[in-house]
Structure 1
Amino acid sequence: MSKILFVVTGATYWTLNDGTRHPTGYWAEELLTPYKAFTEAGHEVVFATPGGAVPVADAGSLAPEANGGRDVTAELAEIAGLASPLKLAEVDLADYRAVFYPGGHGPMEDLAVDTTSGRLLVEALDSGKPLGVVCHGPAALLAADRADGTSAFAGRKITAFSNEEERQGGLAGKAIWLLEDRLRAVGADVRVADAWTPHVVIDGDLLTGQNPMSSGPLAAELLKRLG
């Protein structure tokens, strides 16, 4: 079967507009649900982070109420690759059939400005390999510029965590910038649905999901492309 690269934030905080650091990381459901879907279908998942940092789950995403009443801490601990991710700079896209970016507020801190991730995204987009990105994961798209300085995702149909969801989550007023706004500013064709409803946007082999509720449907769509 295929190898799928998961690019995960290595950040443990998100800097707010007053300079304070909001503890965060990746969102457990957005990593665990696709991981289980891919591996149960027989695919291999390999993790990479900036600098090979061991990724940390946002504490809020570990709460049973965020996971259908389940305690997912043990499930995450059983994923051996999470404890020893590759360094993103050492990844060779040729080794993988697809690329997936989970969310959490962490990508707003590191992947949004990570040029190594940005180059990988441009390469993945141009390769025609399935590229799945969910929730705050699309923050990484902000670092994906072409040689002329334009965004590789300008004009592409995508979705991402919406301004309304950030407001309802209580952090919009504290954010230095909002993801939906920034993606529109670089020319992406951002399409959002009602807050907290599953929503997947497909533009060729670019597949994006709006929020944690979209990670399962997004993974299902990516699996279709892997056959």
Structure 2
Amino acid sequence: MTNVLMVLSAASHWTLADGTKHPTGVWAEEFLEPYRIFTEAGWTVDVATPAGVAPTFDAVSLSAGGAGSAERAAEFAARITTMSDVLQHPKRVDAVAIADYDVHFYPGGHGPMEDLAVDADSGQLIVDAVRSNTTIGVLCHAPAALLAATDKVTGEWALAGRKMTGFANREEELSGLAAKAKWLVETRLVELGAVYSKAPEPFASYIVVDGQLYTGQNPASSVAVAERIVADKR
């Protein structure tokens, strides 16, 4: 049996450079599609958040524009409703151990930029996953969570030199939030020493696999990342 830990942001807003709190949370597709793919593969999936707080889903990700169509938005909303027991009572990030899981997965949305980027417990889980060569999957803005993965032994970022992707600066610009942000995912990853790459065109599906590290650039990459993880572990 393959066990998956999906770590979700517990943030309901993202603090911009001027102090404004921009409503956000988890991007629905980035949680729901990998969750579906993992469970359809027969895998067991646990959900965890900082302090065990029930996650908020970004309202835009549940709109017709954010989901791709009104029908898809309604489907996402219905799936969230059916998962209320799981989502209302997640595990605490500080109470889980990476040794209990075969896959460690982070969906995006701007939420991780608010909490997981500075969450030491989540960061330690990532360090432990890197040390044990456990599969790590990260989507869109969730590479922000990787920023907290400082190895306490070496004092270095645990993912320096690794190939990865994440939400591109150009995508943030096209979304209208780049100029308002304190920092951008692509920029911060490069500054820390990641070998970053992205799709030729914004918002196209794009994934990077470096050993047991699987990263997807944007929501359109959600299915591709999850399916690649399932395929590689069969």
Give the Cα separation in 2 of the matches to 1:122 and 1:155: 14
Of 157-166 and 35-44, the range deviating more from structure 2: 35-44
Per the alignment, in what secondary structure is the counterpart of residue 104 of structure 1?
Answer: coil
% identity of equivalent residues: 50
Query: In structure 1, what is the Cα distance between the partners aligned to 2:135 and 2:157?
Result: 19
Task: Give the AA of the match of 2:207.
Answer: V
Which aligned runs of 4 or more in structure 1 are off by greater than 3 angstroms? none
Give the residue type in structure 2 aligned to 1:25: G
What's the CA shift for 1:66?
2.6
- The answer for the alignment partner of 2:79 in structure 1 is 75
Equivalent position amino acid for 1:218 in 2: V
TM-fit CA distance, 1:2: 1.4
Shift of 1:149: 2.2
After superposition, the C-alpha distances for 1:192-217 in whole angstroms (9 at most, x for unaligned) are: 11210000000001000000000100
**Does residue 1:105 correspond to 2:110, yes or no?**
yes
| Counterpart AA for 1:90 | A
Equivalence for 1:115:
120
> Distance between the aligned counterparts of 2:184 and 2:196, measured in 1?
13
Report the Cα distance in structure 2 between the residues aligned to 1:78 and 1:124, rounded to whole angstroms.
30
Over residues 146-193 of structure 1, what are the superposed CA-to-partner deviations in whole Å (9 max), with x where a residue is unaligned? 123211110000000000000000000000111110111111111111
User: What is the alpha-carbon root mean square deviation over aligned residues?
Assistant: 0.9
TM-score between the two structures when normalised by the length of structure 2: 0.95
SS of residue in 1 equivalent to 2:183: coil
Instruction: Name stretches of at least 5 consecutive residues in structure 2 with no aligned partner.
Output: none
Separation in structure 1 between the aligned mates of residue 66 and residue 226 of structure 2, nearest angstrom = 18
Instruction: Compare 15-24 and 61-70 and name the one that shifted more.
Output: 61-70
Residue correspondences, number: 227
For 1:135-146, list aligned pairs within 5 A. 135-146=140-151
Counterpart position of 1:86: 91
1:165 counterpart = 2:171: yes
Aligned equivalents of 1:86, 1:221: Cα separation in 2: 26
Alignment of 1:179 with 2:191, yes or no, is no
The CA deviation at 1:65 is 3.1
When normalised by structure 1's length, the TM-score is 0.98
Q: CA deviation at 1:226?
A: 2.4
> How far apart in 1 are the matches of 2:49 and 2:25?
12
Matches for 1:1-227 after TM superposition, within 5 Å: 1-69=1-69, 70=72, 71=74, 72-79=76-83, 80-147=85-152, 148-193=154-199, 194-227=201-234
How far 1:68 sits from its partner (Å)?
A: 3.6
CA contact (8 A) 1:130 1:225 kept: no
Whether the 8 Å CA contact 1:134–1:209 is kept in 2: the answer is: yes
Structure 1, unmatched stretches of 5+, are none
Q: Which amino acid aligns with 1:74?
A: A
Distance between the aligned counterparts of 1:38 and 1:64, measured in 2?
25
